[in-house]
Chains A and B, each alone.
Chain A
Amino acid sequence: MPEIGYYALWLALIAALGGVAAGVAGGSGRTEWSEVARRAVWATFLLTAIGVGALLYCLITADYRLAYVAQHSARSMTLPYRVSALWGGQGGSLLLWVFISLIYASAAMWLLRDSQRRLLPWVAAVLLLNAAFFLALIDLPALAINPFTKLPPGDVMSDGAGLNPLLQHPLMLIHPVVLYAGFTGFSVPFAFAFAALMTNRQSDVWLRATRRWTLVPWFFLSMGILLGGRWAYEVLGWGGYWAWDPVENASFMPWLPATAYLHSVIIQEKRDMLKIWNMVLIGLTYSLCLFGTFLTRSGVISSVHSFTAAGWFGYVFLGYVAVAALGFFVLLWSRRASLRSANRLESVVSREASFVLNNWVFMAILVIVFWGTMFPVLSEGVRGTKISVGPQFFNKLTGPFAAALLFLTGVGPLVAWRRASPTSLRRQFVVPGLVGAAAVVATVLALGDALAVYPVVFWSLGAFVTATIAQEYWRAVGARMRNAGESVLTALATLLRRNQRRYGGYVVHLGIVFILIGISGSAFNEERLENVKPGETISMNDGYKLEYLTAKALPKQHYGGAVARLALFHGSEPLAVMVPERRVYWLEQQPASIPSIRSTLLEDFYVILTALEPDGSATVKIHRNPLVNWIWIGGYTFILGALVVLWPHPETRSDRRALLPREAA
């Protein structure tokens, strides 16, 4: 079975390289090769799928002849975790990456076969070149990351080393796959942009065709980032969900130009502007996806969170990122004349302007995050010493820009195109503005002594944006009820169907509002570290009390350790029994603290058993995180909004097809 996988991946590499050549030939005028290129995409996909299947088979059947299986799984692991061991190490996770990207590539070849016939050979070439790179990384023995490498017969053991216990968590079953579905998916719009530039076909047909192809990976990337934060919160036990770690930043950086693109592409559709800029954004997004992968795997940012790989792996990867990015931007530069638009920005008070501003803010945040993440590398190059940057840098600098974005989220969708008249401004913003102002007063009064700038800013802006969304829905539903005589629910359903992007987008914005409110609660985080004997009570602010009851041994199969029981009271009212654990995983010889969390809409109580001391006392860390659950609620709202935007409505699909011009045969 390992042999099948090994040879399948080599054949996949050959198919990919052949497809690149066919795609280039087909795109350069020898159209008979276009079909070959398409088939090469499918062939590469199938062969890679065989490779993935073979590795999964070895993992599930615990074939410890393979070094990869031995290093990342164990007999004690259940089926889901044996499957997830596929992405437990370098070679397997790269294989997962290329596999998902080929799913996207094959889907693109199938779904866009009629509408983009001229572009498809170039798209195939780009996507297959991408796949070939990753397959080569896996296949070439020099880099030593092929998951099908066998252990020397004398070293084969009857059990494996097991998976890092921190990864044996349900969220880790989906977070990597979802994240990769985000990263790899951006290769499709990237390839289409490249193809459009290459063939110098500057119609916007491809833009509309690829909009869905950008929305889908953008959705997965957003979910992947949130899932990672939730995993960190539940498992890592430091009470937080985001530390601006280089690995975290690597996933966040592509999200910024991708979101900017989703907005500025609307400008291109409606006003035929920002065409060059949109190309820049697509190129930037995918380049950052690749760059982020490089950052995470190459060890160039050495913190205790990243992991090192073979020495020149980093250089090879960085070289590929540079080639991809440079190739794209050089091509864009050479075609810039044909992308110039006739239209100009007419007024600062216009929807175009607010979208442009929104793009500026996203770029500013990107610069901040990139600079902070890369600073150790740059400082080592310039000064010879590695200077690292802590989370305060990112928090302090991105705060004002996040507030600016929130403001624009309310203003942008409502302000008129081209030039907003004072009448239209008044009509649109009086009510939301008053709501925002009232929120300022309300928060200032509610906070009292605990007054802090950011909570007031974010809550009042959040109220403002929510009011704009409510107003939009209210007016639109009201208009349909009056004009078409529909009931409330029918009107709502019609709106969500007829103008998915707008009304689904509003729901997504609402999700962002919730997320930012959830983050702003961290201004009021409370933490305590206490050492208590059984029966003693810890008093917290606002009348909360934790009484340490007892600790028991944890006699589980895969881990040992202890669980402490603490009773949470508000005054004299019992609320919950918190059960934080301190585990030691037998096989991996690794300790882990599992927090006990009590969640309400208002706050989280988060308790960690730091240690059971030799004298029988327990050292306990308690976090009180206000509003943190609004982040996850925002995530669910986000999903709802994305579903509305992406939902394929049968009755509109045929309309859409009719609108999409056919290319001349």
Chain B
Amino acid sequence: MTALTIDGVTVSFDGTAAVDDVSLGLEPGEVLGILGPSGSGKSTLLRSIAGLERLDAGRIAWHGDDITAVPVHRRGFALMFQDGQLFPHRTVAQNIAYPLRIARTPSHARVAELLALVGLAGFGDRRVTELSGGEQQRVALARSLAAEPRLLLLDEPLSSLDRELRERLAGDLRRILDETGTTAVFVTHDQDEAFAVSDRVAVMIGGRVRQTGTPAEVWRRPASAEIARFLGYTTVLGGDAARLVRPRSDGAIALRAAALVVTHGGPVAATVVRSTPSVDGWRVRLAVPGIGELDGIAGAQHPVSAGEAVTVRFDDAGIAELS
């Protein structure tokens, strides 16, 4: 049975719909990633699920029971904010124990267990103001899990962290969600993060859900040019141009830079327009006859410069067919 049902939810601010007639479902134990650019209404949707926003229309149900009118604190959900929102006047342990005390089940053992789960064993007596950003987010996660929420809501939990930490914590987050069997909704603007953590993603643009599916489905078959561009595809081709890249395709295709690789003796001729060094070699802009200018890559062993005539091959890893 569907755990969470979001049915035709609309939330407006001063007459403008931030969330516009959104319907989604979530299975027990599933982790749903809501992926969208900033201002797409994804955080507002998350806050609506938590009960922090008044709905202008629609309903939210948990295992079939309408919870639209249930106040925030009775929903049994937990929401973790981008910047943690730890209570500065409490220690790490007191922060984590907060939901336990509300439930009248205070337990030092449970706090220690949660600290160990997020990799902060022994941090209990620290002041939260002494912690680094990554540590604060771990504490916030532990605090949310302490509530044993029926549903965990995560609002860009990793966005305020630097890249290396973000990638490591994304892995930890997925592991912790698996270990605890938590049903979760996770909001982010970062595709890598969404794909690393979620079972299924919903792409939200302009207040509406434009596509849902597994990360692989969405990645391989974006539903529109707009979604493809948001996912990092730089070019969308249709008609004859598309068939030049992929003869079998009958619709539009989207290309990332990785789709076009400069190779000796490749099947297609091209001229280098611009070339910039990158960590893996070169990022190039290529003029391809019959298609136009496309982004591509060249290996470190292939130094190329503007004006040079080269040959290229197409790599399926960088190509998606629009569904």
User: Are A and B physically bound partners?
Assistant: no
- A: residues with CB less than 8 A from B are none
- B: residues with CB less than 8 A from A are none
